[in-house]
Amino acid sequence: MSIQEFVAPHSLSEAKGLLSDGAMASVLAGGTDLLVGVRLGTRSPERVVDLKHIPELTAIHVDAESVRIGAAASAFSILHDSDVPSCFPGLAEALDLIGSTQIQGRCSAGGNLCNASPAADSIPALIANDAQCLITGPAGDHQMRVEDFVLGPGKNALKEGELLVALILPRPSSQTADAYLRLTPRTEMDIAVAGVGVSLTLDGEGTCTAARVSIGAVAPTALLVEAAGAALVGTQLDATAIEAAVAATREAACPISDKRGTAEYRTHVVGVLVARAVAQAQARIVETSS
């Protein structure tokens, strides 16, 4: 069956109605995965619901407590028309790695998350920043952590008729910074062989008081590696602590060998990236507090 209907609702309630009347519907937040899937024959919705005209879904709000990114907000608007890059430079870098400038004009952080690719760049960065998913659906609204939202390659936790509305991230203090690094053979237009998101909080003496490490492309879903974070907390991020975090990360990784890299290589390189991302996040905190 090919696409029969294209609808562009202007309100969330209208969108919810279009997603829960039994039609085989797919949402289009930017379409950069959906249209490719339709063309390849892996997606065949009867109805496409364009979310770009719903203000709540494209808005980006930053207040003292939190940062709320509409699920359909384009990567370009997040990167160029919001305070997200100054709050989360690592998340911004992750989004900036997705596609070309033209693609970034369409694609969204919400879409990158819902697409649930093991190699998605934004997901480890969101997990590192403790992001929550705001979900609406027939049973009302609820929240869920990003690391719980992705269930497997291409599978997310949205139930029939549910819709991801926004991503909500706690606003970091000046003593907190994030970083995202990925390994691709090419500099651009490529998909992560391994990706690492890190968020660190340091006290005035440089001791790590909180750390979240998330890894991508080395397991069926992006993982929060709690042991790696734990290895860093309470340390000055000295070589021993970094080594312990690297070892914990490699332990947690369970990659496959495929056309993008061998399992051995991915396990090795995800550790290299953890060490580098920790150093980068640390440098960001030192830079802003000096």
For other proteins, the binding residues (CB under 8 A) are 2, 183, 185-191, 193, 258-262, 264-265, 268-269, 272-273
| β-pair partners for 212 | 199
CB 193, min distance to other proteins, A: 7
| β-pair partners for 67 | 62, 169
CB 270, min distance to other proteins, A: 10
Read off the amino acid at residue 30.
Answer: G
Q: Which two tokens stand for residue 116?
A: 């649930």
In 3D space, the residue among 93, 102, 155, 101 whose CA is nearest the CA of residue 124 turns out to be 93
Q: Are 47 and 25 in contact (CB under 8 A)?
A: yes
Which is nearer to other proteins, 52 or 276 (by Cβ)? 276
Which is nearer to other proteins, 119 or 248 (by Cβ)? 119
Q: What is the DSSP letter of 154?
A: T
CA–CA separation, 195 vs 93, rounded Å?
A: 12
Which is nearer to other proteins, 25 or 269 (by Cβ)? 269
Which is nearer to other proteins, 83 or 264 (by Cβ)? 264
CB 185, min distance to other proteins, A: 5
CB 93, min distance to other proteins, A: 15
CB 239, min distance to other proteins, A: 15
Which is nearer to other proteins, 24 or 139 (by Cβ)? 24
CB 98, min distance to other proteins, A: 13
**Residue 240, SS3?**
helix
Which is nearer to other proteins, 2 or 290 (by Cβ)? 2
* Sequence-separated (6 or more) residues with CB below 8 Å from residue 157: 135, 144, 148, 149, 150, 151
Q: Which two tokens stand for residue 18?
A: 């279009």
